[in-house]
Amino acid sequence: MKITVGSTSTVKLAAMLDACSRLGIAVSIGLLKTYSGQNEQPLNFSETYRGALARAEQAQESNPDSLAIGIENGIFNLAPEVFLDIAVIVAITPDGRQIVASSEGIRFPTIDVKAAAEKGFSVTTVGQTITQRLGGDPADPHSTLTNGKRGRKDILTDAMVSVLKQVKTKE
């Protein structure tokens, strides 16, 4: 299977490779720098989905014969003082079918969401404010928040498995 991921993120590539390995899929993966057209820190499902879709569409334009993947993490405000980071994944098959899935959510501290909001979501992610306060990797604050028990790669891998199972069931 040929896959083009609308990202150059090493975390997203590792998740894609792990998901394919888990399902026994022989894969050739291309990475493409894409732009979500959204804030640096997307908020809510609509903005997060639009970012993932934009990335998938750019990947599809670049390589129409591959499965095009767009991944975008966003912050979801479920209740006052309750914020989850959730990834939305959009896959576009070569025949134009769109598959959408989301990851499990990891609760992000309100203090860090507010700090990122004060700096401006257009230029700051909550992951950046978490790592400024607690250390770790801004691309994987999930590991910091779970004491290394659940990293972003693992979360994305599980969501990608769901996407790839949907692709396989239709082929």
Mean pLDDT calculated for residue range 57-63: 97
Q: Is residue 83 part of a domain?
A: yes
84-119 pLDDT, tens digit each: 999 999 999 999 999 999 999 999 999 999 999 999
Tell me the CATH number at 70.
3.90.950.10
pLDDT, residue 168, reads 62
Asked if the structure places residue 136 within a domain, the reply is no
Tell me, rounded to whole angstroms, the distance of Cα 46 from its chain centroid: 14
* Residue of 141, 143, 136, 153 whose CA lies nearest to 113: 141
| CB 138, CB 126: distance < 8 Å | no
For the chain, the domain total comes to 1
Find out whether 83 and 108 touch, Cβ atoms under 8 Å: yes
Q: Does the structure show a pLDDT above 60 at 171? A: no
pLDDT at 169: 54
pLDDT surpassing 50 at residue 132: yes
- Model pLDDT for residues 9-39, shown as the tens digit of each residue: 999 999 999 999 999 999 999 999 999 999 9
Residue 10 within any structural domain of the chain = yes
Q: Report the 10 Å Cβ neighbour count for 75.
A: 25
